Structure 1
Amino acid sequence: MSQQSTQTTTGGSSEKIDKAVIRIAIVVVLGAIMSILDTTVVSVAQNTFQTEFHTSAANAAWTATGYTLALAAVIPLSSWAAARFGTRKIYLISIVLFVLGSVLCALAWNIGSLVAFRMLQGAGGGMLMPVGMMILTRAAGPERVGSVMAVLGIPMLLGPILGPILGGLLIEYASWHWIFLINLPIGILAFIYSYVTLPGGEETSKPTFDFVGLLLLSPGLAIFLYGVSESNAAGTFLTAKVLIPMAVGAVLIIAFVFHSLRGKNPLLDLHLFRNKTLRWAVITMTLFMIAFFGAMLLFPQYFIGVRGESTLMAGLLVAPQGLGAMVTMPIAGRMTDQIGPGKFVLGGIVLIVAGMTTFVFLGADTSYWLLCSALFVMGLGMGMTMMPIMSAALATLTADKVADGSTLMNVVQQAAASIGTAVISVILASHLKSSPTSGMAILSNTDPKTYDKLAGAQQVPATPPHEWFESAANAFGDTFIVAVVLIAITFLPSLMLPRKRIANSDASSAPVAMH
């Protein structure tokens, strides 16, 4: 294998994405598509799992929770594993584990086996994103990190939108097995393409393995996020089954922080927070992910629960958000490399707030044209926000710190997304329960077919009163106020992001393009 150092001059030619980097970007996008889609596609199959395996909603929810916990436990290992065995080998192994877990999920015979195989999926999928980011960032170099991050951002933003659509199609026209089997052809293609494209002979090292850090951080994250996820079922954070695991997880994570700051070769290098740009990027990303993933939960629930749409139609109604992101993301990625991320992030947050404010005034019959237009505006903002934040975090890092930076950002994303989903879910449930309208919570959380069955059993009115729908819409609108406020708060730390071209302080040891 030969390596050619990426030139980091200010000349325009050095910033063009060459064919070698594009081929590597395709590798990473294929892996990201599998991992991110499977995070969301299972959400539409929860009722199907209950029916097929004769289990409760709480047990079925573990098909999502188990996957998330496995991701959280494995991500911290990414930096060490990449240094010890090489990014190419770890990436290929991750694809194999993910595809193996997918096939086994399709063959599951009860809910317990399905949850176990979902965790195997998560063990593979957990390293796909951070290791993929390492590969892509090193290949592109610091001068072009914004452009390549825009490519990686497409599946990150479209996954939550396309996942429910794909899941609904496969369940409706095939069977639930295919939401997992679909990963088999994609995985085989990704493995072959990665094997051929990613160069071998990568230099590796033998870093000291931080066993203490592993025993603190991975279980700490998993236990903490387990407690967070339990708040969805409980409808509140103020219960022992939520607070106890959250407290135990937090103690382990805090202990890891002290251990990491004192250790020489920690599992996750927290000394990176000395980098001012990365520090503000992490803070901005945390707040943004909490608000973004929390709001993403509300859109399909409103369309299904209040407007009576099918899962497939709800996914299609949310699609304008993805279309908006696809318009601005390539532009923002390319321009971020030239003028810095700060201006785009600030503008993106303004657009998101403007679009999301429309949902604060939701009614039972709000125009779909208005809502889809607002979603498109939000998408324009999201395309200008997420990847420039990521670029700001990684562009100032030298080659030997890219792995740690990528792992850190993925840990932050996973934790923040889980917290955002839980917080918004609990707030929505609280608004539904506190409404004076009887039966509204049942309506807003029940699909039309299930409601018809309840009506046949005379458990609910045959024709729901219009007041139910209006009250449910108001509850969603009140919850969106929280999401808007969280997004608006993100504006403050984003003021600290660079608003001019980021110059890497160590160009000589910057990532290299591999040929």
Structure 2
Amino acid sequence: MTVNKVADSDRSTLDRRTQILITVLGAAAFVAVLDGTAVTASLGTLTTSFDSTLPVVVWVTTGYLLAAASVLPLVGWAVDRFGGRAVFVAGLIAFVSGSVLTGFAWSVSTLILFRVLQGFGGGLVEPAAIAVAAAVAPREHVGRVMGRFSLIINIAPVVGPLVGALLADNGLWRAIFLINLPLGVLIVLAALRWVPATRTLDKPPAPDFIGMGLLSPGFVFLLLMINRWGAGADVALVVVLAVIGVLLLTAYTVHALRTAKTPVLDLRLLRIRAFAAALLAMCAVGFIMFSQLSVLPMLAEEVFGLHGIGRGIITSALGVGLLISMVNAGRLSDKVGPRPLVVTGSLVTAVGLGTVSLVWEALPLAALLALYVVIGLGFGSVAAPSFASVYRTLAPESAAQGTTALFIVVQLFASIGVTVMGLLLDRGGADIYGTVFLVLAATALVAALVGTRLPGRP
């Protein structure tokens, strides 16, 4: 049974088998997000456990994100060549294997290395799941499918920070990774039962290996430049890293505009105004989301004196808002279009973060938690509609490339956010929080501005 046959069985509603299939696919993405939020909430504890510094330990997250971004261009080719189920299962097995290795890391270097290996698998899981689900869903119900994914996935930002903080503060940080083994095995078995094998092409177009060799390494050098500059490294080294990064990204731009192949990140799609807006909105989503995942546990500990499970409580308040809004935003985008949701959600996020930047020292914890639920409600109305708009603004033959591009920029700008926040928190002290939240509020305003370029009512 193929994915297309499942989809053809009922074009107006999602049948029971399709709902189960989407649940299985979403569960895998849930495990990956749970792992990421739990790890990010534990960065302070990992810094102490390995007697390291925060700018070094943030590479546990940055390395994962960059590794995930680097394999994303392979997803389309691999799905065409081997089928969506095969790529999904292979990515999940690689993710679980990397998790087990990370759980047994004996130094900060091996911790980062194994997280990179884990990221290679994690980078395949969610886009492969989306590719299969998009083939299953009728085009007019893409928002509904994204909403169902959101319902499953966005439980993770509520639970992940609490689990991560609780385990890390009780000396059980290894369990954050090792728990992925039993969960992963169950999902693999369910996928083999419910996810249909898809048709494959014998000779799909080869991936853009040249582009892969330029784009992600270019970002790596720029992030290393930020990291070394923050650590007070020699100016010459900082300049060399910056120059190499800029040259690589410039070379990628030239390559992407000239190549006859489909490039890793097809810059030519930016000529389509609505897609360019969606791409920029998702850049902001990646930066804001992972910056907050890094900052909020530190804020809870340093400002409110919270420890253990308490360190994850502010992040979980954000997750509650996300859980509510992302489910409904995906469904509403089918009716009203992404523009009003993204603009309104971004403005709510900007006002909320701006308020935090001004009064974070004076706010009682209960007021901050309530405010962060509101921020989550606004922020959750940005990602799902922006993502779903790709399937309305691009031709069907370009939709897969557009989806890959959105995943890539989210991962890359998330890695920038984590790196920058690690640097600021390490060097700025408690007074830096006002600046941090002001930067995030400004980024949300940018998302509101570009959101005006998204499509309106269908």
TM-score by length of 2: 0.89
Q: CA distance change for structure 1 residues 181 and 344 in 2, over 3 Å: closer, same or farther?
A: same
Match of 1:223 in 2: 221
Match of 2:286 in 1: 289
> For 1:309-388, what aligned pairs fall within 5 Å after superposition?
309-388=306-385
> For 1:139-150, what aligned pairs fall within 5 Å after superposition?
139-150=136-147
| Alpha-carbon offset, residue 92 of structure 1 | 0.8
Write the distance in 2 (CA, Å) between the matches of 1:167 and 1:221: 28
Match of 1:264 in 2: 260
> For 1:46-445, what aligned pairs fall within 5 Å after superposition?
46=43, 48-49=45-46, 53=50, 60-154=57-151, 157=154, 159-173=156-170, 175-206=172-203, 207-230=205-228, 233-234=230-231, 239=235, 241-268=237-264, 269-426=266-423, 432=428, 441=429, 444=430
Report if the CA contact (8 A) 1:165-1:312 is conserved. Answer: yes
Look up the equivalent residue of 1:494 and give its one-letter code. G
Cα deviation, 1:177-212, whole Å, max 9, x if unaligned, reads 211111011111111111112212422242134332
| Alpha-carbon offset, residue 132 of structure 1 | 1.9
Match of 1:499 in 2: 456
Write the distance in 2 (CA, Å) between the matches of 1:255 and 1:211: 13
Write the distance in 1 (CA, Å) between the matches of 2:38 and 2:56: 17
Q: CA distance change for structure 1 residues 61 and 377 in 2, over 3 Å: closer, same or farther?
A: closer
Look up the equivalent residue of 1:38 and give its one-letter code. D
* Residue 481 of structure 1, aligned match among 396, 419, 438: 438
Report if the CA contact (8 A) 1:73-1:221 is conserved. Answer: no
Q: CA distance change for structure 1 residues 144 and 49 in 2, over 3 Å: closer, same or farther?
A: same
Report if the CA contact (8 A) 1:362-1:476 is conserved. Answer: no
Write the distance in 2 (CA, Å) between the matches of 1:330 and 1:250: 39
| Alpha-carbon offset, residue 250 of structure 1 | 3.1
SS in 1 for 2:454: coil
Cα deviation, 1:420-474, whole Å, max 9, x if unaligned, reads 33345555666x3xxxxxxxx3xx4xxxxxxxxxxxxxxxxxxxxxxxxxxx3xx
| Alpha-carbon offset, residue 221 of structure 1 | 3.6
Write the distance in 1 (CA, Å) between the matches of 2:245 and 2:332: 40
Unaligned runs of 5+ in 2: none
Look up the equivalent residue of 2:139 and give its one-letter code. P
TM-score by length of 1: 0.80
Q: RMSD in angstroms over aligned alpha carbons?
A: 2.9
Q: CA distance change for structure 1 residues 197 and 78 in 2, over 3 Å: closer, same or farther?
A: same
Report if the CA contact (8 A) 2:61-2:415 is conserved. Answer: no
SS in 2 for 1:99: helix
Unaligned runs of 5+ in 1: 8-12, 433-440, 445-471, 502-515
Write the distance in 1 (CA, Å) between the matches of 2:46 and 2:336: 49
Match of 2:40 in 1: 43
| Alpha-carbon offset, residue 359 of structure 1 | 0.6
Cα deviation, 1:52-90, whole Å, max 9, x if unaligned, reads 556565654443333233223222322222222222211
Q: How many residues align?
A: 455
| Alpha-carbon offset, residue 416 of structure 1 | 1.5
Write the distance in 2 (CA, Å) between the matches of 1:418 and 1:113: 19
Report if the CA contact (8 A) 1:228-1:418 is conserved. Answer: no
Report if the CA contact (8 A) 1:94-1:125 is conserved. Answer: yes
Look up the equivalent residue of 1:216 and give its one-letter code. L
Look up the equivalent residue of 2:436 and give its one-letter code. T
SS in 2 for 1:105: helix
SS in 2 for 1:178: helix
Write the distance in 1 (CA, Å) between the matches of 2:357 and 2:146: 31
Look up the equivalent residue of 1:496 and give its one-letter code. R
Look up the equivalent residue of 1:260 and give its one-letter code. A
Larger of the two Rg values belongs to structure: 1
Report if the CA contact (8 A) 1:82-1:403 is conserved. Answer: no
Report if the CA contact (8 A) 1:358-1:371 is conserved. Answer: no
Could you tell which deviates more after superposition, 491-500 or 83-92?
A: 83-92
Could you tell which deviates more after superposition, 240-249 or 178-187?
A: 240-249
SS in 2 for 1:93: helix
Look up the equivalent residue of 1:370 and give its one-letter code. A
Cα deviation, 1:343-378, whole Å, max 9, x if unaligned, reads 111221222123223212225452222211211111
Look up the equivalent residue of 2:69 and give its one-letter code. A
Look up the equivalent residue of 1:375 and give its one-letter code. Y
Report if the CA contact (8 A) 2:22-2:133 is conserved. Answer: yes
* Residue 490 of structure 1, aligned match among 441, 447, 450: 447
Q: CA distance change for structure 1 residues 117 and 419 in 2, over 3 Å: closer, same or farther?
A: closer
Write the distance in 2 (CA, Å) between the matches of 1:94 and 1:134: 13
Report if the CA contact (8 A) 2:165-2:311 is conserved. Answer: no
Look up the equivalent residue of 2:178 and give its one-letter code. L
